[in-house]
Amino acid sequence: MRYIIIIILSILIIASCFHKEEKTKIAKNFTKKEKMEDTELKNWIKALEEKSFKIDISKLKNPFIDPEIFKLIIIKREKIPLELVGILEKEKEKERMALLQDNTKKGYIVKTGSKIGNIKVLEIGTDYVIIEEEEINIYGEKEKRRRILPLKKD
């Protein structure tokens, strides 16, 4: 029995010596370490360097607000109620100046083209002044509205 085991082992050892191993060939291109570009990393770096996107809320329309409520909000905004108190006229220059007064009794002396807040004086007549007010409508867009102020007669 010993001899059989010794013979089997010796056959296995001799057979393993004659066994051909397959050598894997390494391509010459892979022996050198190449630098690989990480394109996704470069894209992230570019995205981080760019200015962040900002939304100007004042330019957006609010689709959920009721138009009636928005009108009340607009009325509460800075609106100067003016009335025409007097008109001055220079004879030599034929230039007119208007005396306007707001509800706090603050007076303004204006010429054609003058601005008071969001109000611009377009024309000064003999007994009226035409002004143009810049307002924001219920959709958030700027509108210009003309109004005639008659001379207040006391």
pLDDT above 90 as % of the chain: 19
The pTM of the full predicted model, rounded to 2 decimals, is 0.49
Give the domains, in start order, of the chain with CATH numbers.
80-150 (2.30.30.830)
pLDDT digits (tens, 9 = 90+) for 29-46: 555 556 677 889 888 888
Q: Could you tell me if 135 and 127 are in contact, meaning their C-beta atoms sit under 8 angstroms apart?
A: no
Residues 137, 115: Cα–Cα separation, whole Å? 21
Dump pLDDT digits (tens) for 38-93.
889 888 888 888 877 777 766 666 677 777 776 766 665 556 788 899 999 887 77
